[in-house]
């Protein structure tokens, strides 16, 4: 049985072919991921949505600790004078900053910024604790929320308050800091690939698109089902610019004062949006097993008949004991309602069991991503379910990879970019660039596709810039983005 692309079992969802933006909104509401609030751009992340984020946290936190990082927690508020210390940094964030001007009824002597990011706070702390080369490196991470006063908002993708992790590290040398920047980019790549089943492209941001105050910004770019790009994570190398601005110095092995080098890196709850738009279909969510709150749902048939619920509970216990996140739905709702409900919620595997199955000592497994049904002996239940979960992950990854392949176009001129986007639809454009910001801007102005990154894996599409015809320096990945 193939994947049901156009047939909707839950009519409340707008089809993605009809209106992709509305389809997305329908899913986040109907799958009970979020609820709206009285503050525009701020959302309630409901238990099911938060459980996805918790699973992401657990996996990433383990990966961070395996690479030597420790968790800390910085304040929510940043004094204006502290934010002003790094000129490029404050200018980059100024349009998005929310300010606290009063404490109770009293006007504050100095405005406080509600944390949009925490570089300045970490720098203030480093200046207090870093004195000698023996104090380095410091490898820190924090799990917090931040506020950026976005004008146009959409749940998970762009909200005024969002959850994230932000890593901040400080090193004795540029070489160590650059190595850290690259290591964390690889950690994010592995996480997206192995846990979220999302293929990503690693690259370096252009000068005009790098993080405010950074020497270099690296990113992973993913392609959504509709052909739009999504920045899935970033890793920044700061050099010693912040150290000089905040007067962070340490005594080196040569007994001379030196400036350390810094990095920061982060991913956010927008990755939940990435999962929805990479894997979802017209029946709702499809969740990668690694982060699914429920990996297997057990739906018993003819529950009123003797032995059915008892056997279903035996199956529940066996799967739980194997470390599988499993739910038994023994509610009074009909099996058909349950099928549609858990399809909507993207549960990777549905397990059906009824009187005839029990007689045959088997159950039926249905994989969410393609609707395939398989009968499996109860004696091989755990290994069979684990195998199905792996098949779901692999199937999701391959489908996303195929979508990216089909929506990646190589172009040699701006006219070719325009034609590709108009005739084939949105996607990634691979095209050469001379390195001039004016050409970067012109490509976006004429095609709507901005530079996403300079891929680490380069291709030679041609020898000249897609815009001006001068000798090309890099192959750039272009695209329309969320």
Per-residue model confidence as pLDDT tens digits over 351-399: 999 999 999 999 999 999 999 999 999 999 999 999 999 999 999 999 9
Of 311, 337, 315, the C-alpha closest to 324 is 315
Beta strand 216-223 pairing with 257-258: unpaired
Contact 252, 242 (CB under 8 A): no
Confidence bin at 94 (pLDDT 50/70/90): confident
Burial class (CB in 10 A: 0-12, 13-18, 19+), 132: exposed
Confidence bin at 11 (pLDDT 50/70/90): low
Contact 201, 477 (CB under 8 A): yes
User: Is it true that 20-279 and 296-392 share their CATH fold?
Assistant: no
The average confidence (pLDDT) of the chain is 95
Enter the pTM of the model: 0.94
User: How far is residue 300's CA from residue 163's CA, in Å, rounded to a whole number?
Assistant: 37
Other C-beta atoms lying within 10 Å of the C-beta of residue 2: 7
Full strand arrangement of the beta sheet holding 106-114: 77-79, 106-114, 98-103
Give the model's pLDDT for residue 23.
97
Report the pLDDT averaged over residues 445-472.
Answer: 97
Burial class (CB in 10 A: 0-12, 13-18, 19+), 422: exposed
Residue 231: beta bridge partners?
221
The correct CATH number of 296-392 out of 3.40.190.10, 3.30.1360.200, 1.20.970.10, 3.40.50.800 is 3.40.50.800
User: How far is residue 9's CA from residue 1's CA, in Å, rounded to a whole number?
Assistant: 15
Of 124, 450, 52, 80, the C-alpha closest to 289 is 52
pLDDT score of 3 more than 50: no
pLDDT score of 1 more than 50: no
Domain regions of the chain by residue span: 20-279, 296-392, 408-479
Name the strand (E) or helix (H) holding 109.
Answer: strand 106-114
Residue 65: beta bridge partners?
none
pLDDT score of 6 more than 50: no
Helices of type H across 41-142: 47-66, 80-83, 87-93, 119-129
The correct CATH number of 20-279 out of 3.90.650.10, 3.40.1710.10, 3.30.930.10, 2.70.98.10 is 3.30.930.10
Confidence bin at 8 (pLDDT 50/70/90): very low
What does the DSSP 8-state code read for residue 280?
-
Q: At the top level of CATH, which class does the domain 408-479 belong to?
A: alpha beta
Contact 316, 353 (CB under 8 A): no
pLDDT score of 197 more than 70: yes
Judge if the upstream peptide bond of residue 137 is cis by omega within 30 degrees of 0: yes
Contact 478, 417 (CB under 8 A): yes
């Amino acid at each position: 049985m193939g994947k049901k692309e156009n047939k909707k079992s839950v009519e409340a969802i707008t089809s993605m072919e009809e209106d992709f933006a509305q389809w997305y909104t329908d899913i986040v509401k109907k799958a009970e991921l979020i609820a709206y609030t009285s503050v525009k751009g701020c959302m309630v992340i409901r238990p099911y949505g938060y459980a996805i984020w918790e699973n992401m946290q657990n996996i990433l936190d383990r990966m961070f600790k395996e690479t030597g990082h420790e968790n800390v927690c910085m304040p929510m508020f940043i004094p204006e004078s502290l934010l002003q210390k790094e000129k490029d940094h404050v200018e980059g964030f100024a349009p998005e900053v929310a300010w606290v001007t009063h404490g109770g009824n009293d006007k504050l002597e100095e405005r406080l910024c509600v944390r949009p990011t925490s570089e300045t706070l970490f720098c203030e702390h480093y200046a207090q604790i870093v004195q000698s080369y023996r104090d380095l490196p410091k490898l820190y991470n924090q799990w917090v929320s931040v506020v950026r006063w976005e004008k146009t908002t959409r749940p998970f993708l762009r909200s005024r308050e969002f959850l994230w992790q932000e890593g901040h590290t400080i090193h004795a040398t540029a070489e160590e800091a650059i190595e850290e920047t690259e290591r964390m980019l690889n950690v994010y790549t592995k996480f997206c690939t192995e846990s979220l089943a999302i293929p990503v492209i690693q690259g370096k941001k252009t000068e005009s698109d790098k993080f405010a105050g950074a020497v270099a910004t690296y990113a992973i770019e993913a392609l959504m089902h509709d052909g739009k790009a999504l920045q899935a994570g970033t890793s920044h190398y700061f050099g010693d610019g912040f150290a000089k601005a905040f007067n962070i110095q340490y005594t080196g092995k040569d007994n001379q004062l030196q400036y350390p080098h810094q990095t920061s890196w982060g991913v956010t709850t927008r990755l939940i949006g990435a999962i929805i738009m990479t894997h979802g279909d017209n029946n709702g969510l499809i969740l990668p097993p690694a982060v699914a709150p429920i990996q297997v749902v057990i739906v018993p048939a003819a529950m009123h008949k003797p032995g059915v619920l008892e056997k279903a509970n035996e199956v529940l216990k066996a799967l739980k004991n194997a470390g599988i996140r499993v739910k038994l739905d023994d509610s009074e709702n009909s099996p058909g309602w349950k099928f549609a409900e858990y399809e909507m919620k993207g549960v990777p595997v549905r397990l059906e069991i009824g009187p005839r199955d029990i007689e045959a000592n088997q159950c039926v497994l249905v994989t969410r991503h393609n609707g395939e049904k398989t009968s499996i002996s109860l004696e091989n239940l755990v290994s069979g379910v684990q195998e199905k979960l792996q098949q779901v992950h692999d199937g999701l990854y391959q489908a996303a990879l195929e979508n990216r392949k089909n929506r990646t176009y190589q172009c040699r001129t701006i006219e070719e970019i325009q034609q590709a986007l108009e005739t084939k639809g949105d996607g990634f454009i691979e095209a050469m660039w001379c390195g001039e910001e004016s050409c970067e801007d012109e490509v976006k102005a004429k095609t709507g596709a901005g530079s996403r990154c300079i891929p680490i894996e380069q291709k030679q599409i041609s020898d000249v810039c897609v815009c001006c015809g001068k000798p090309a320096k890099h192959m750039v990945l272009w695209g329309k983005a969320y």
